[in-house]
Structure 1
Amino acid sequence: MLVPGFVVSGAYAVPTAVRLADTFRVYVPDLPGFGRSRLPRRALPVTELADCLRAWLRAAGAEGGGLLANSFGCQVAADLAARYPGAVRALVLTSPTVDPAMRSAAGLLRPWLSEARTQSWPLRRILARDFLRAGPRRSMRLFRHALADSIEDRLPRVTVPTLVVRGTADPFVSPQWAARVADLAGGRLVELDGGLHAMVHESPDAVAEAVLPFLTGHLGNEGTGCTGDTGRRS
């Protein structure tokens, strides 16, 4: 299962999902409150999003597989893996947030502006559409939840095999922070030359090449196909 980042829908992760679908059955859901999911009355904190994700896995009969998360999705995936180790067999954290050195609105402004200048137009269209669907109030409340969540406190409780993937051009994830995430989770770090924060959308071939050996090593080949938020399969 691919877990998208802050506010964005599963469409953001589809390019990487398509590359992985030749080897695995891949799910790309929208987190509650975002994309085309039902809108809860309030923006859910990380722990509740993780609970919803686990319920989704159980309903889909997909527990015990792998999670590949990006950005804020890494906070949700790490919480799920830490509290429900039986629900996950392998964990991939790409562009994990939030670096404690940047854990404030001011601290994240400069990297956000830097990242925004590098985004492709297809990605910008997805981000604009998903932000409009979520609305500024829900987005701001989720942002507060993201800042209040300390992923470094739960990573030591992650017991499943973990791979951390950082792009060398990612302004949000420093080499030091990426190394710390891998160390805390007892995992391994891979860096993609020139990779951006939104690598799962912008560099799907490179991401798939980096993660496939890890995933096949821990999951094997468990059928193929891709299920997105629409329920269609390819």
Structure 2
Amino acid sequence: MAYVIMVPGLAVRNYLRPSADCLRSHGHDVDLLPPIGWRSVGTDLTDYAQRIARHAVDHGPADLLIGLSIGTQAATLAAIATPAVRRLLLVSPTLDPARRSTAAALRAWAGGEDHRNSPRLSLQAHDWTNAGPGGIYQGLQSAIKVPLETELPRAAEGRPVTVVHADTDLLSPLPFAADIAQRAGARLLVIPDAPHSWPIGDDDRFVALVARLVSER
């Protein structure tokens, strides 16, 4: 089937394990990477993206590179850095201009999500211990400096890009997702009844989307 790399959001990964496992059960080869912010990874988004690009070169090429939340920014920079990424999927892209300050970003992030499938606090807190407050803060500071609206068009050169907006997302607004998709000539998909942390709790639709994307030429 396909080789898929998943890039999680800031300092969290466990919420994506069921989705990665579901892809594997459908025959895909999946690498769910550790997130930016963890002590083992570091907090510089550009360095993190370079590591993702090297991973794609060493293990790929990647049929599909998936970035989720702040992982969308890292995945975009990684795709710019290497042709070893055939397709790019960005889920719940960050950070829109209105949240591109420390106070605004922390306020939005601390507000959390309000959906029945949203990750439990206990699950997220377990991941956060691998980062600590400093790792989370510094990772966020690095992400604030990466504007997707200027970087995504560069990543879209020579590969198809799909941008996904979850329709109950409280952290990443639809106008931002639509704007970056338009600038990059990317496809925009709006997922009904889905939170910022999509595809949590929605593996069937996620697997179907991945199958559709990797089958397209």
**Shorter chain as normaliser: what TM range?**
0.7 to 0.9
Which residue in the other structure is 2:143 paired with? Answer: 146
1:58-73 matches, cutoff 5 A:
58-59=57-58, 61-73=59-71
Query: Residue 80 of structure 1: which of 67, 78, 81 is its match?
Result: 78
Counterpart Cα distance in 1 of 2:76 and 2:60: 17
Which residue in the other structure is 2:46 paired with? Answer: 47
Counterpart Cα distance in 1 of 2:116 and 2:55: 30
- The amino acid that maps onto 1:39 is S
Residue 189 of structure 1 aligns to a residue whose secondary structure is strand
Taking CA–CA contacts closer than 8 Å with sequence separation of 6 or more, which of the two structures ends up with the larger relative contact order?
A: 1
Range that drifts further, 200-209 or 144-153: 200-209
Counterpart Cα distance in 1 of 2:190 and 2:85: 23
5+ residue gaps in structure 2? none
Distance 1:173-1:116 versus aligned 2 partners, 3 A rule:
closer
Distance 1:120-1:48 versus aligned 2 partners, 3 A rule:
same
Counterpart Cα distance in 1 of 2:172 and 2:210: 18
1:199-210 matches, cutoff 5 A:
199-210=198-209
Range that drifts further, 70-79 or 11-20: 11-20
Q: How far apart are residue 87 of structure 1 and its match?
A: 1.5
Residue 67 of structure 2 aligns to a residue whose secondary structure is strand
TM-score normalised by length of structure 1: 0.80
Range that drifts further, 111-120 or 152-161: 111-120
Residue 201 of structure 1 aligns to a residue whose secondary structure is coil
- The amino acid that maps onto 2:215 is T
Question: For residues 159-192 of structure 1, what are the alpha-carbon distances to aligned partners after superposition, in whole Å with 9 as ceiling and x for unaligned?
Answer: 2101111111001222211111211222101101
1:14-25 matches, cutoff 5 A:
14-21=17-24, 22-25=26-29
Distance 1:55-1:82 versus aligned 2 partners, 3 A rule:
closer
Query: Residue 126 of structure 2: which of 110, 124, 129 is its match?
Result: 129
Percent identity, aligned pairs only?
29
Range that drifts further, 110-119 or 199-208: 110-119
2:115 is equivalent to residue 112 of structure 1: no
**Contact preservation (8 Å) 1:14, 1:201:** no
TM-score normalised by length of structure 2: 0.86
5+ residue gaps in structure 1? 219-234
2:7 is equivalent to residue 3 of structure 1: yes
Distance 1:133-1:123 versus aligned 2 partners, 3 A rule:
same
Counterpart Cα distance in 2 of 1:70 and 1:161: 17
- The amino acid that maps onto 2:18 is P
Residue 155 of structure 1 aligns to a residue whose secondary structure is helix
Counterpart Cα distance in 2 of 1:33 and 1:105: 15
